[in-house]
Structure 1
Amino acid sequence: MSGNKSITSIVLVGLLLLTPLSVYADGTDPLNVDITTAWTSQSGTDNDHAYLLTFSSNSTFDISTEITHIQNGTELNVSVFTTWGYENGVRTAHLLLNSTLQWADQVTVDVTVNSIDTVVTTNNNFFTRSIEVGTWNQPMADHEITLTTSWNLLQNYTTVDGDQYFRLNFDGHGWQQRIGDVLNSWELGDGVMVTEENTEGVSTNMSFVLDSIWKNETITAGLLTSQVIDARGWGYLVITSEEDEAVTQIIANVSDAWINHSMIDGINSERIRLEAGGLMTIDSTNESSTTIDIDAELSVFLFETWDENGVRKLSHNQIEALGDFIIIDDGFRMDISLDGMEILERWEDGIRTQHRENIRGHGTFGAEDQDDNATMVINGTIFNLETDVVNGQTVTDDIHIDGTLSGDVQGTFGIVKGIETSGMQSNYSGDEFEVNVIHEESWFNITGINGGNFFDGAGAGAYHNNSWNYQSVNSHWDNRTVRIAWEETGPDASSGDDKPERSPIQNNLTQPEMEQALGNITVGRETGLVPIPMAIGDNVRLNGQDGIVLEIVANSVANDPRDNHNFHVVEWTGSYGDSGDAGIAFGSIIDEGPLRGLVSSVTRSFEIEYGANDESAFLNETQYIDRVLSPSIVTAEENTDPVLVSLTLEEGLVVGEGASVAHLVAHATDDEWNIESITADLTVVGGEIVTLNDKGLSGDNAIGDDRYTTQMMVPGLEVGNFTINVTITDYFGAITEGSGVIQVVDDAPRLTSVEFVPHIAKRGDLIIVNAIAFDGHGVESVQVDMRVFGGQLVDLLLLENEVWAGNFTLPNGMTPGSHDIPFIVTDSIGGKQILRHWINIDNGAQPDAATPYRLPDGEHVSTTMTVLNTAPQIVAEDMIIIREDSTTTALLEAEVSDADGVMLVRAKLGIFTPITQNEDWSKLYDDGSNGDRVAGDGIFSLQLSIRSGIPDGTHTLLLQASDIYGEATGEVPIVVTLEEKENVITGGAGISSTMLVMALGIIAIIGAVVVMFVMRKEGGDGDKSNPGGDRFGFQ
């Protein structure tokens, strides 16, 4: 009995020891092998094709594996290298294959557990996983979805030049569609771009509101074949430059900003275009207290570049400005008004196609100098200053300066320079070059010196110099003067003719090159191959995007509510960079149904390294599925019909005759968001049946906002309200029909020709006008509206040759200068508009057959006339003055009128000039003072002093007037006759005639002495305080 008990005990212990193995053998314990992807990299470059087997215990397993890898329909011959290991206390096996994965491959991994700890298994020992190789976030099945996206890109670093900052924000919606192996995606939204860039003394600040940011990608068979990013908006631009103690600042309002990046068929393209207007200031004060102040108004600021594969294909820089230029330096001041400044340079494919540098202006300058207690005052006028360089060649180089010297030095000076002729000229070496012959004439006349050592002691005299500079026409060459000839007269007269050596130095034009600018970063999203469907434990390295590597791990399963449905998803986390420290990402990916492989939500935040100096940028993004348009995620029984909410024109109306493009918008809703198509019948307005979209195309403003849009125009003569029928069809074929009313308005006539004869005239002149107008409904009338200028509304008559002709008189109410004359054109059905331009169409151009009433494109030409200024009119009568016994006064009166207003009336009184007055001219008044009878009546007055010493007879006075624009009359003479009053000469009690003659002689002698004393005191030449004229345009 004891022996049997011992045997029984041994058997029981043996059974207990064998129990775990027996459980595996008969399958009652959950033996499990998880097959997960290990598509990562041990080398940091290409990914391994590998899998990780994770067992349910740390036992020793003997397994058999069979892996089938089908690529392009062919099974590959693969070999497997197995490495055993432990993770988290359980046994693992790493299977490394010698094949390489591609998109759309089919892989099946079969694992058979042969034994556990040498115990053979017979049941539940087979494990398998089938995988379809897809691309990240791209389901293999055809589908169509909409997305909501928000992201921002940030650069912020510091260099030796200062802080560098770039920020780009985006909020919008996207649309993604796969048909076959082609996947298209779009994103449309808006955002903000802010930059601060500091480089070598130049600071550039930009802030743009981007009304439209558009992104389109096409991926074929898992490979990115095209990408377009287009952004448009507006904002401001501030450029501050500090160089040589000068601070230059440009403040521009950017009306149109366009930034475009594309990659199509391997061609990378970058385009930028900024159009702006604003202000430019330059302020400079150096150590010697020289001040330069420039204030300019930028009417045109245009910057455009186009780079393709690292080569600059287009560069366009254009500035047009008006402004004031002031220089102040130790007693010197120069004021220049820039009547125009134009800088234009355009390069296309390495060839400069347009170039102009033009500056036009006028101004004044003055200076004061002292030496040995003597003072010299210099005043000058710059009548004309112009330089013009066209296509690299100087065509204008003009200057005209006149000036005076006053104080202890009296005299005049002047300079006149301009291009006299052009031709060929040999240089010092005998080589011929095309030159401009620039003739410069200068003179310097010193009429008096009363002290000081000015001009190195040169005395009074006349100096005159003529020079001829034979200068190369090419503005970008150095040492351009190839010959110089001169003739100088005066105390140091000389003449000569010389050819400088090494002249000219020829330089080649420098083609603009592509520059690495702030914000010039190509940022995509991570991509790469992934298993479809993804399973818990999968480890995948996404390395398909240059510079962006994301390694992800699938952690758990969950339900993600999207589109009113719960998607079964795998939640994942990931890290960026080969070392995993460049950023993080997390989200969920659908693992069931036709949309498996689609990322339902993602949040990313990572750092991007770029550039030669390892600069960094940071990207933060959130994206999630908004709607699933197809395949349907509801049944036909659950489906409801779509609803047409409204049908409108975004602009409110459309202009007929093809004159405008409008956007037809259908607001449609569907509870299941599965609208397949919306069509509109435009045949009632001369169009076709068109398809509307909610994908950001054809003028659609936002993706997935239920506003389906298309562009339309009315090519014919239809006018009024029209009903447009709409048909809506959803995924299950449910149809909803509806309609809306749109308004089509008449397009008024257009002018195709306007001619004024003459086009430059004075007020009161008769102007002949000829005009041609066009309208599909016929032109009823053409009128010239001069009422805005104080004139009349003039009807033109239609002649047999379709020309509308007439005439009008330029009214006095027009100010001098250029004016755009308004035309009122009316068609046969009452369409009317006011035009100040006409369309210059090229000869032979014909309307498009689809829009027969729309004129071909042409240049818009303003209906401009130039009104010449005229000097005031002076009406004054000769005067007869009867001398009284003593000094009396007489009233000088002149009626002066001008359409623009009288600025100044003055008289040169000659012998009637008061003795104490230094000036030659005396002002007349119309303000009720100085003898004026009535203020503001247009009669200007001045009291004349009739001194007893003025001889009888006729004397001539000179009158002159100027208007508010500085236009002056000539000197108008007035004859004043001074007659003696008849006196009775008596004896005894009266004054004898002899005594009267003696008294008059004494007064004359005293007057002469006084005059001589005054002249001597003032330097002998009278007053010099206002030589040459004054600011009212008089000489």
Structure 2
Amino acid sequence: MPRVSPRWPAVSMILIFIISSGAPVIAQGVGLPDASIHIDWLDEDGDGEAEHAYIIEFSEAPIPSDWKIEVLHSDSNGTSLGNWTFRWGDANYSLEPVNSTHFRIVAPTNISFGDSIEIEVWMESGGVPSTTRTVDVTIWNQPIADHEITVTTDWSLRHQIENQSSEEYLLEFTGQGWQQRSDGLLIHDELGSGTLTIDEVSDDGSNILIVLDLNRIWLNETMVGEELTSQIFEMAGAGNMTITDDTDGNMTISASVVDAYILRSMIDGTIEEQLRLEANGNLNITNVDENEEMYIDAEISLLLVELHDVDGVRVLEHTEFQATGELEIQSSGSYIYVDLEQLIVLERYENGEMVLQHDKTYGDGTFFFSDTNDENASIVIDGEVILLHQETENGTKVADTIHIDADITGATTGDFGLWRRIEDSGQSANSTGQMWEVNRIHQEDWLNLTGGGLLEGMGPSQTYNETWDHEVIYENYTNRTIYYSWYEQSNDPSQGEEWPPNSPIPVEEVNTTEEDDSGLGDINISRETGLAPAELLIGDNLGLYSGDLMSLELTANSYQSYTRDGHTMDVTSWSGTYLSEQSTASGLVINEGILAGLVAEVSREVYLDLNTTEDAWFWENQSLERVLSPNIVTAGENTPPTIVEVRLQEDRVLNEGGNLVHIEVEISDPDWNMREVNVDLSTLGLGTIQLNDIGQEGDIMVHDDNFTGSFVYFGTDSGNISVSVIAEDVWTSTTENASLEVVHRAPRLVDFTLSQEQAERGENVTVTIKAFDSLPITSVEIDLIAEGGELFPLTDDGGGYWSGVVNIPETVSPGDIYLPVKVMDSGGGWSILTHLNLPSSVAGVGGDAWDAPTASIPALLIENNGPVISDFRILKDGLEVQEIIIPDVGDGSSNYVLTVNATDHDSITVVQGRLRMLAPVGQDTTWQTMRDDGQQGDEIAGDGVYSIQVTVREGLPVDSLVLDFRGIDVYLQSTDPVFEATVELSDKEVDPLTNPTDALGDWGSTVMIVLIILGFVMLGGGVAIVVLMRRGGSLDEQLGLNSDFQKEL
């Protein structure tokens, strides 16, 4: 605000001296000038504090030496803080000229809330003061007297940061406020709704856009005198979140924010901040370039972030992410597909310590690869990710499984695979002998090249490697392998074991929490505040410097009239700036009566240049809506209140303490002088409760004429119960009856026992429960319909106990299951329960109030047995045989198919066989994967019969082999014990006439083949011989009997 300096140059002093010298003549002809007193509480010396100063304005230039100013300063208790007389030229308390008609005085005291200052302007020779003014000190927009008012307000806060990135925070609010001063305590509330938009664009172009519809924005401030003792700012709502990133392709996350909660509070000096954001939605990533295409499509079932800070210290940090998705990668000649059935990331820290952690990746997939070299030789790899399962809980690894199987075709043929899993856990010693908890991780990988060789280094060969890794289970260690052993079968076989030194190594705890450099939205613009006169008069200059960021200097301009509640009030119009020409405010303040000092209207437009990269804007319009106290309506003018509607937010009352009920009463009161609304609940035995319309106890909006209160009914009555509603204003009251629907609360469980802690599917389990209800319980059932079972009724044993036998259905999934209990009472109330009601501290029937603590019923562990293997068979060319014939040396190998039948309650992931000497070279003890896809020897896909082709090498010893077979289900449970089948390896001959196919395939002798052909020809008749003879040459030559054969004969 532009001001004239009180330090005038010499010419001004000469002017005043001349005026002063000629004053007697002017006084004789004109008379004494009129005087007025203005406060001038401005910061003149730049220390951020307003001076205790006043401006004395004369209607015309006075003779300064003829005047004196008397000032008396008292505190809120009436105790004098000092009195002073200001005169022209006084060495200590002098009248300082501002111009020829304005003089300024500065009192030597500081002002405080509740103080009173009396200023009198005297002629030195006068008997009475020319003018006086009493200034009562209050806080801006806070009348000194007890009062209660409501306001309507809308405001917007925009915070923007521009550096390498662009960040914008926009918060918009519309609502109502309520303010009450009583016995020196002032409470100010604002409750409404709005929107919050957060838009962040990083320097690489990625963008985060969050738009929230806030159904609740609440601001609460409490002051004792001029001290702010508490401030609470709370936001809650839902909306949408979009994250895009085009740096590596196109990534888009579209999520619905189902629950957002933000809190910032200061209570007795303690600053607290909370954030909770819960969302779900979709994740889509597309990355396409000239070499590769990648697509990710995921469904996010849960995205949860919770933060809680107290005085800058993080006391809670919770992040949780749950999703399922699909990944596809395509490039020239290759394709990868991964189906993630579960993706879980969970971390929870309390007071800096991790209390909960869970990471899980679970899925499967396929992959394909093909390539052609410069010699036009090609290779194709077609594989399957049978299982991918990585999991840690509370910093401990509990799963490390990957199972890959692939076939190689083309210029080189064969197969390869990898199977890694945790076989067991226990203790193991490291290199120093110290014992550690470890996972024993068993890994098998193999590569069998069975044909081809057209590619260099890719001829027939077999490699099989088996490792055992003793790995410390704790994730917060590095170098976690403390023991390692291996066994390799290949052209260069090896085996051995190692104890790696310096293992394990603990990870040093490093606080990686970084300060939020942007601080987007972390700006608290509280409105201007400071000490002010209760009555603001024209010409007053006031500086309000007590706000954190907003300091306002204003001037009172004119007097106006303002009408509210049908009554007209005198107000002062004012305007000012927030120490910047770009930031202004203007409004009206009541200047008389008990509400003097209350702002009736205000409009603010504030720009804050926080630093070179950070700006903020604040816009607001606020106006007085209602004056609830003191009363400004007479008894003759008053209109009695009308009860418009009585309703329950919960629609009905549950007896026996079944719910917390919020009763709402809508009132119509044109005079806006309601005092209280009460509901007489004597018919429910609860007495009278008082409702409120200030946003408390379930009240949704401040002063929307809907009064709200809450209660819990512990009685047992039901039906339509009549209650009395009393609406009372300042002068009269209105009473009406309303009917509330009371219904029976459903029965509860108080005890639940099982005859055993675990069971197999198909097994019977005895269940005993105790139910409670004020009405007789008519039936109790175990409801397993959702699990593929049925309803199992229990028998009344007396004393509230019921028991019966439950058959566990075959379709139930293994693991913990809570058997749902369906309980029904004689009033028709029923519920399906899996929790117990614990004793409540609230007295009521049964001691089980609606908010009583609960606990889950005991879980029944459904055991999971591995797949059942049966019906081992040996097939040769589709026919079942009882033994395997070993080819003679030189006859080549022969092929057989081994099959088993596998069944399981759950999906079977894989069936395998350990084939001893029938396995490929070097894989005697390796588990070989069998097929049920109708290929490579398997007859019918998906029939539960698993098959594997075996090649019987020539020269194997005659023996009885015991083969092992097992299945693994989707829960990683394997057949235990493994299924054993005995196979006889025989070298007996096969009659070619009874089994000519076997003779041809197994003997492979040229002589035998020729003789058989000859026999068939001769048996075929003379026609065949004549045809052969016409070819010319001897019969031996025509039949292909060469000289070598003749020599052998």
Give the TM bin, normalised by the shorter chain: 0.7 to 0.9
Residue 223 of structure 1 and its aligned partner are, at CA, apart by 1.6
Q: Which residue of 1 aligns with 2:316?
A: 314
Distance, in Å, in 2 between the alignment partners of 1:865 and 1:767 is: 11
Separation in 2, partners of 1:335, 1:520: 43
Look up the SS of the partner of 1:76 in the other structure.
Answer: strand
Q: Using the TM superposition, give the Cα deviation of residue 664 of structure 1 relative to its aligned residue in structure 2, in angstroms.
A: 0.9
Q: Distance in 2 between matches of 1:1000 and 1:300?
A: 82
Q: Is the 8 A contact 1:435 1:470 kept in 2?
A: no
Q: Percent identity?
A: 30
| C-alpha separation in 2, matches of 1:925 and 1:459 | 34
Q: Give the residue type in structure 2 aligned to 1:829.
A: G
After TM superposition, the structure 1 = structure 2 runs for residues 697-708 of structure 1, keeping only pairs within 5 Å, are: 697-708=696-707
SS in 1 for 2:28: helix
| Cα pair distance change 1:704/1:443, threshold 3 Å | closer
Q: CA separation of 1:786/1:775 partners in 2, compared to 1, >3 Å: closer, same or farther? A: same
Of 848, 851, 858, 2:854 maps to 858
CA distance in 2, matches of 1:727, 1:676: 11
Question: What is the CA-CA distance between 1:41 and the residue it aligns to?
Answer: 0.8
CA distance in 2, matches of 1:438, 1:813: 32
Q: Deviations over 1:779-838 (max 9, x none)?
A: 1112456778897665432224644344577889999999998764321222234x2x41
Task: For structure 1, list consecutive stretches of 5 or more residues without a partner in the other structure.
Answer: 1-15, 115-120, 875-880, 882-896, 902-916, 927-962, 971-978, 981-993, 1004-1035
For the residues of structure 2 that align with 1:299 and 1:1001, how far apart are their CA atoms? 82
Give 1:983's aligned residue.
none
Aligned pairs for 1:185-200 (under 5 A) are: 185-199=188-202
Which AA in structure 1 matches 2:797?
L
Q: Is the 8 A contact 1:68 1:109 kept in 2?
A: yes
TM value normalised by structure 2:
0.75
| Cross-structure match for 1:849 | 843
Q: 1:774: which partner in 2?
A: 772
Q: Map 1:234-383; keep pairs closer than 5 Å.
A: 234-241=238-245, 245=248, 248-285=251-288, 289-371=291-373, 372-383=375-386
1:536 paired residue among 535, 538, 541: 538
* Deviation (angstroms), 1:166: 1.5
TM-aligned CA distance change 1:803 to 1:46, over 3 Å: same
Q: Quick check: 1:155 aligned with 2:196?
A: no
Of 114, 118, 122, 1:108 maps to 118
Question: Is it true that 1:726 corresponds to 2:725 in the alignment?
Answer: yes
CA–CA distance in 2 between the matches of 1:815 and 1:425? 38
Alpha carbons 1:147, 1:173 under 8 Å: kept: yes
Alignment equivalent of 2:41, drawn from 35, 39, 44: 39
Relative to structure 1, the CA distance from residue 55 to residue 685 in structure 2 (aligned partners, 3 Å threshold; closer, same or farther) is: same
State the Cα distance separating 1:1000 from its structure 2 match: 11
| Greater shift in the superposed pair: 55-64 or 368-377 | 368-377
| Cα deviations by residue, 1:348-405 (Å, 9 ceiling, x for unpaired) | 2222222222222223333234444433332333333222223333333222333333
Tell me how far 1:342 sits from its aligned partner: 1.7
Partners of 1:816 and 1:149 lie apart in 2 by 58
Deviation at 1:581, TM superposition (A): 2.2
**Does structure 1 conserve the Cα–Cα contact (< 8 Å) formed by 2:452 and 2:458?**
no
Q: Contact 1:433 / 1:472 at 8 angstroms: preserved in 2?
A: no
Give secondary structure in 2 for the equivalent of 1:417.
strand
Distance 1:323 1:997, change over 3 A: farther
Shift of the alpha carbon at 1:490?
Answer: 1.4
- 1:775 and 1:853 in contact (8 A); partners too: no
Q: Distance in 1 between matches of 2:452 and 2:398?
A: 44
Distance 1:520 1:802, change over 3 A: same
Give the whole-Å Cα distance in 2 for the aligned partners of 1:688 and 1:386: 61
**For the structure 1 residues 501 and 283, does the alpha-carbon distance in structure 2 shift closer, same or farther, using more than 3 Å as the test?**
farther
Q: 1:404 aligns with which of 368, 392, 407?
A: 407
What is the distance in 1 between the residues matched to 2:324 and 2:618? 43
Shift of 1:760: 7.1
Aligned to 1:930: none
One-letter code aligned to 2:151: L
Using the TM superposition, give the Cα deviation of residue 862 of structure 1 relative to its aligned residue in structure 2, in angstroms: 11
Aligned to 2:1020: 999
Match of 2:70 in 1: 66
Map Cα deviations across residues 13-61 of structure 1 (whole Å, 9 max, x no partner): xxx9988523555x6xxx2111101100123321111111111113433
**Residue type of the partner of 2:500?**
K
Residues in 1 aligned to 2:289 and 2:511: alpha-carbon distance in whole angstroms: 32
Q: Deviations over 1:662-720 (max 9, x none)?
A: 21112223332222222212232232321111111111111112211101221221211
CA contact (8 A) 1:486 1:497 kept: no
Moved more, 622-631 or 463-472: 463-472
- On the 8 A contact 1:754/1:772 being kept in 2, the answer is no
Task: Kindly provide the amino acid, as one letter, of the partner of residue 576 in structure 2.
Answer: G
2:1022 and 2:788 mapped to 1: Cα distance? Answer: 61
Matched-pair contact (CA < 8 Å) for 2:219–2:233 = yes
TM-score of the superposition, structure 1-length normalised?
0.76
Alignment CA distance shift 1:321-1:867 (3 Å): farther
Secondary structure (helix, strand or coil) at the match of 2:1020 reads: helix
1:627 shift after superposition: 0.9
CA shift in 2, pair 1:784/1:112, >3 Å: same
The residue type equivalent to 1:91 in the other structure is T
| TM-superposition CA deviations, 1:184-229 (whole Å, max 9, x none) | 1111111111111134655221111111111111011112110111
C-alpha distance in 1 between matches for 2:604 and 2:821: 60
Match of 1:565 among 562, 567, 571: 567
Cα pair 1:716 1:853 within 8 Å, conserved: no
8 Å Cα contact 2:160-2:614 kept in structure 1: no
In structure 2, relative to structure 1, the CA distance for the partners of 1:280 and 1:790 (3 Å cut) is closer
Q: AA paired with 1:21?
A: A
> For 1:1000 and 1:471, how far apart are their aligned partners in 2?
76
Structure 1 Cα separation of the partners of residues 760 and 63 of structure 2: 109
Matched to 2:200, the amino acid is E
Which amino acid is 1:839 matched to?
A: H
Structure-1 separation of matches of 2:1020 and 2:466:
58
Match of 2:601 in 1: 601
Does the residue aligned with 1:799 lie in a helix, a strand or coil? strand
Deviations 1:896-925 (A, max 9, x none): x99999xxxxxxxxxxxxxxx996455699
| Residues 312 and 513 in structure 1, CA contact (< 8 A), matched pair in contact too | no
Gap change, CA 1:571 and 1:339, over 3 Å in 2: same
Give distance in 2, aligned partners of 1:828 and 1:726.
33
CA contact (8 A) 2:816 2:859 kept: no
Q: Which amino acid aligns with 1:849?
A: A
CA distances 1:389-436 after superposition (whole Å, capped 9, x unpaired): 233333332223333333332234333232644546446xx5958463
What SS does the corresponding residue of 1:148 show, helix, strand or coil?
strand
**Contact residue 643 and residue 669 of structure 1 kept, 8 A:** yes
CA RMSD in angstroms, aligned pairs only: 4.4
Q: Are the aligned partners of 1:196 and 1:203 in contact in 2 as well (CA < 8 Å)?
A: yes
| 1:224 paired to 2:228 | yes
Structure 1 residues 347, 923: closer, same or farther in 2, change over 3 A? closer
Counterpart amino acid of residue 22 in structure 1: Q
Q: Deviations over 1:624-668 (max 9, x none)?
A: 111111111123443343333332223321222212122111222
- Distance across 1 between alignment mates of 2:1022 and 2:574: 122
CA contact (8 A) 1:311 1:513 kept: no
Shift of 1:92: 0.8
In structure 2, the CA distance between the partners of 1:415 and 1:332, relative to structure 1 (3 Å rule), is farther
Aligned to 1:134: 138
Query: Using the alignment, how far apart are the partners of 1:690 and 1:93 within structure 2?
Result: 60
Q: What is the letter of the counterpart of residue 625 of structure 2?
A: D
- For 1:71 and 1:637, the matched residues in 2 are separated by 40
**Number of matched pairs:** 876
Q: Does 1:209 align with 2:203?
A: no
What is the SS of the residue equivalent to 1:556?
A: strand
Does the CA contact (< 8 Å) of 1:547 and 1:609 recur in 2?
Answer: no
Q: Deviations over 1:969-1019 (max 9, x none)?
A: 99xxxxxxxx99xxxxxxxxxxxxx9998239999xxxxxxxxxxxxxxxx
Show CA shifts across 1:118-172 (max 9, x none): xxx75876221111111000000001111111111112443312x3221111111
What is the rounded CA distance, in whole Å, between the counterparts of 1:765 and 1:270 in structure 2?
Answer: 53
Distance change >3 Å, CA 792–CA 594, structure 1 → 2: same
